[in-house]
Amino acid sequence: MIQKSYIWVSNYPILKSLMRQLSLYFLAFSLICFSAKAQEKRENLVKTNKWFIAGPSKESEEMINVIRTKKGIITVTANDNPKGEIELNVMITTSEINDGIPTNLSSKSKFVEITYQSSQIIKLQAREGNSEGSGCIHGGSHPRVSLSASPHQFKTIKIPWSDFKQDELPDGKLLNIHNLCKFNFVNYNPISGSVFKIKSVIIN
């Protein structure tokens, strides 16, 4: 018995060190899991919200929403000899119609993250609610930014809210994120067969 006690006591520092390492591993694992859950809570508007389309696109509104539901991607292809602009839009707050109430984003929100592929430059408008206070009916301002062409691969960009300015002017009116209705992705001069794809739109 004395010999066994001696062996246990002599190994105590080793056991203590092992327990400390296990505790650190458990803490690290917990933090990773928490971070993963936090990532999952960020809504991807491609997956959660209905999208709307106007203009010379080969895909109908119904087709766009069927594909995004099944495959998690939005694809818009310009018609042959398209006339007019193509406008793809989505409400910030889920809506079955292309209208609704503006969303009041938290002041902690700093940017929107977009993963897309495009054969042409796309203008991204952040539509605000109108000045009459009646919601998202036409009349609000449209601060915007440009999405550069990326014809051969998907790219992910983070756009700070401070980049959205009326007409993209250096001194243009800044976006009010507390009165945000929708995102409009606009191709003002589509060419035949031009393609625009979106995998994710995530507000951070």
Q: How confident is the model at residue 126 (pLDDT cuts 50, 70, 90)?
A: very high
The per-residue pLDDT for range 133-190, each reduced to its tens digit, is 667 876 678 899 999 999 999 999 999 999 999 999 999 999 999 999 999 999 999 9
Quote the pLDDT of residue 1: 52
- What was the pLDDT predicted at 140? 72
Q: Over pLDDT 90: what percentage of the chain? A: 71
Residue 88: pLDDT over 60: yes
Residue 39: pLDDT band (50, 70, 90) is very low
What digits encode the pLDDT tens for the residues 1-26? Answer: 555 555 545 555 565 666 666 665 55
pLDDT of residue 172: 95
Mean residue pLDDT of the chain comes to 86
pLDDT at 68 over 70: yes
pTM: 0.79
State yes or no: pLDDT of 37 exceeds 50. Answer: no
pLDDT of 28 above 60? no
pLDDT of amino acid 136: 85
**DSSP-assigned letters across all residues of the chain:** -HHHHHHHHHTHHHHHHHHHHHHHHHHHHHHHHHHHHHHHHS-BHHHHS-EEEESSBSS-HHHHHHHHHHHS-EEEEBPSS--S-EEEEEESS--SSS--PPB---TT--EEEEEEEESS-EEEEEEEPPTTSS-SSS-S--EEEEE--EEEEEEEEEEEGGG-EETT-TTPPBP-GGGEEEEEEEESS--TT-EEEEEEEEE-
